Amino acid sequence: TQTFKPIKQPKIFDVIYPAAFGLWKRKDLFAKAVNGLTALTLGNIQEQEPECFDVCVDNGIAVSSDIPQEALPYFYNMSKICLITTVPEIGGQRTALEAMACGLPVVYTKDSVLVAELVNGHGVAVDPDPIDIKRVLMLMLSGYSKIDKDQSRDYILQNYSEKHYADKIRNAISQC
């Protein structure tokens, strides 16, 4: 929460999805859903799965790899929405936390139960279908969103910050 926070940046991208270029991140679903939008995806390229990279490039998505962790907050803050399309078994939890800490609304697929648990009502769950995802993204980009970005950031500060965990440890020690 010291690193991932709102930073004044121009909103260049409609949608961001920082995740490795592996099949388990469903970049194909991301690419189909954001087709026609200004989108960015970041992550390490998996040499054994080049199709994950290719599908993004073929759909006009800005792609970057090997971004240093300390630069990620700037990319989040240049974006309007964070979309997470990972397979259910893998997660996407860190991406959701980082995006929410930066004040971005998070859209994730309904089958991503780990993300759903984490965002606890501070995100939008959609069917893992590109048409449904695109519909929700377009609604949000047009100004309709039930997500309060400040509340999402406050939720992260209260439940996942360094202070939160330090207090939990302090309380546990005091009960010994």
Structure pTM? Answer: 0.85
Structure tokens at 108: 């994730």
pLDDT score of 39 more than 80: yes
CA distance 38 to 34: 8
With contact defined as beta carbons under 8 Å apart, do 117 and 139 qualify? no
Which pLDDT band, with edges at 50, 70 and 90, does 144 fall under?
Answer: low
Angle, in degrees to the nearest 10, between helices 162-174 and 149-160: 30
Q: Are strands 79-84 and 13-18 parallel, antiparallel or unpaired?
A: parallel
Instruction: Give the pair of three-digit tokens for residue 19.
Output: 């995740």
Which tens digits make up the pLDDT trace of 62-106? 878 778 888 999 999 999 999 999 887 777 788 888 999 998 999
For residue 107, how many other CB atoms are within 10 A of its CB?
Answer: 25
Lowest mean pLDDT among 75-79, 107-111, 117-121: 117-121
Q: Count Cβ atoms below 10 Å from residue 154 Cβ, excluding itself.
A: 13
Q: What is the rounded radius of gyration, in angstroms, for the C-alpha atoms of the chain?
A: 16
